[in-house]
Structure 1
Amino acid sequence: MTLLAPEQDDVKAGSLHTKRLPGWAAVATAVAALALSAALVLGTGIGNWVLVIVLGAVFYLIGFFIAANAVEGVRSARNRTWSALIHAACVLAILPLASVVWTLISNGVNRLDADFFLTSMNNIGARDPNGGAYHAIVGTLEQVGIAALLTIPLGVLGAIYLVEYGRGRLALAIRFFVDVMTGIPSIVAGLFVLAFWVLIVTPIFNDGRPGYSGFAAALALSVLMLPTIVRSTEEMLRLVPAPLREGAYALGVPKWKTILRIVIPTALPGIITGIMLAIARAAGETAPVLLVAGGTAAINFNPFENNQSSLALFVFSQATESTRFSPDRAWTAALTLVALVLILTIGAKLLARRNRLTR
């Protein structure tokens, strides 16, 4: 064994430490990049602040790569550049969502009052500033609620069959048709229910007259929700580790009880996420409700008789009217619809989390 001289020992110890950019380097580079971009864009008049931000981001990436390469080396510079690109992509993905939320809140607060939530549009004229979406809120809750009651059990059971029992051509055919249904336009679902339920089935029990109703709208929404629930639930069930199933089988637990007590609870958070995505899509559909429920300005608590409105249809009708009070109603109804879906999603997530913690 050879002993190093003190000078050589210091060199070896110093080689373990690499130079690092100071914490303020990123901020300084960003400020310089924005200043250069603003001087170039605004000084020449070739664009506005949007181009300033885009060009500033490009200058920032170039400048930060040069600075990191000079201090830390090319490997660290590449790592920092790709990290900055990933963060920029995240910001770009969040910006449209933040813009939508801000637009909804800033425009929707104008009619956030008791009159909007406790009255309908019945007997409201073009010059009347009052009127609300109570009838539309009732219609949305009933239609989406009925659609969820019809679709969630079918979708979850269908996914369980495909993952746990389905083999051969039948399972392949079911997956194929589920994939096809996933991409169908909403108006096709409305036309199907209109042609089958409204024009063929309901006249038998309605003295030959077509039966437009909220239940018909719920059937159309069920057609749209079913493939989303089946596919999302199927993927979540496939993510459950196989050793969990094998351990239950080794203990003599029947397959149906293994699915009920182990597989589904493990995949429950993901299943609920898929269900809420399907509910959110159904709550925002306009064409099926317009075709088979017709819409109305009055309150209708009975989803099985007469026309019924929804929040999405209310937004569409108010946005297409030419009165000066309609835009405020449309924006507030849109904000109410988003808030309603958000509340349902948070409630479902909290319920799933509570059930998971109490097991």
Structure 2
Amino acid sequence: MRILAAMSGGVDSAVAAARAVEAGHDVVGVHLALSRAGGTLRTGSRGCCTIEDAMDARRAADRLGIPFYVWDFSERFRDDVIDDFVAEYRAGRTPNPCMRCNEKIKFAALLERALELGFDAVCTGHYALLVDGPEGRELHRASDAAKDQSYVLGVLTAEQLAHTYFPLGTTPSKALVRAEAAERGLSVAQKPDSHDICFIPDGDTRGWLADKVGAAAGDIVDRSGAVVGAHEGAHAYTVGQRRGLSLGVPAPDGKPRFVLEVRPVSNTVVVGPREALATARIAGERFTWAGRAPASESFACQVQIRAHAEPVDADARIEDGVITVEPAVPFDGVAPGQTAVLYEGTRVIGQFTIDTTTSAVPAPV
């Protein structure tokens, strides 16, 4: 196959490209320039897609003896990932930019260009398995549960899965990938993994959002609507947050209170007891299937609401264009804007963006 290897400059994508070459494929490496800030530098494990990452990717490609290019996707990344991130926070939701990047950049914009240029597939260093089943290609969890990335790949469609290549999916551990990189003479063998949001490399999400969204003071209220404090910008609060609330009125029972909801229209933050974070139902209109769709509009599944959360048994149903999921055990602190990925065992069924949540503990009347 002709394979376009997306090389981030990290150890995973470098080893993935190496395995593609070793398997006999015709491989070309490409690094995506996602920032217009030409002087962007990496700080330890923070950030990605920096100058250092581009140079590391080029060195890896040279070591493998494959052609290498840098493609400027910064405008598309700004429109589809950064602007979406800001818009979601303005709407009081908590988005996952890694999901949007996979959906809109790596497996949409990049794959589209790859196919136009005659490539058969895009190769990445994600830890996930592709299985060719009787009804088409399926996406499954990786062999290494600790590194499994099927959650952030849940946005991929059947057409995208058909042109995807994940060489690391069967690798038992990240330590083996690093050891292999060292054996292959790849300089990124011990490079730290990237953490946090790549376009906020200093990790100060609150400050970054304040600059983009603006900070307007407002009230913090309890579930009855009584004012119990004040905030300097609702964007700085997320569902489940406990610290930094600066409440002027203590709870009647003296127990800590947590953020339950962010209301951007009224610029208020709602707080309440820990038990009110239990979520009995989630629903959303924006859903896709990773391969074959469920045979029925009502089906049993397992649901994962964060990249490293434990999956929860649940019942799902689709009605009037809305998917609703009710877990067997309530979720803990779910925020609108998060992504729910549905599984059947190890297979990814699909995903949806959570629009509404229903607490398992009704608000006092």
Shorter-chain TM band: under 0.3
Query: Higher strand proportion, which one?
Result: 2
Query: Higher helix proportion, which one?
Result: 1
- Specify the structure having the higher radius of gyration (Cα): 1
TM score, norm. by length of structure 1: 0.20
Q: Specify which structure has the bigger relative contact order, considering alpha-carbon pairs within 8 angstroms and separated by 6 or more residues.
A: 1
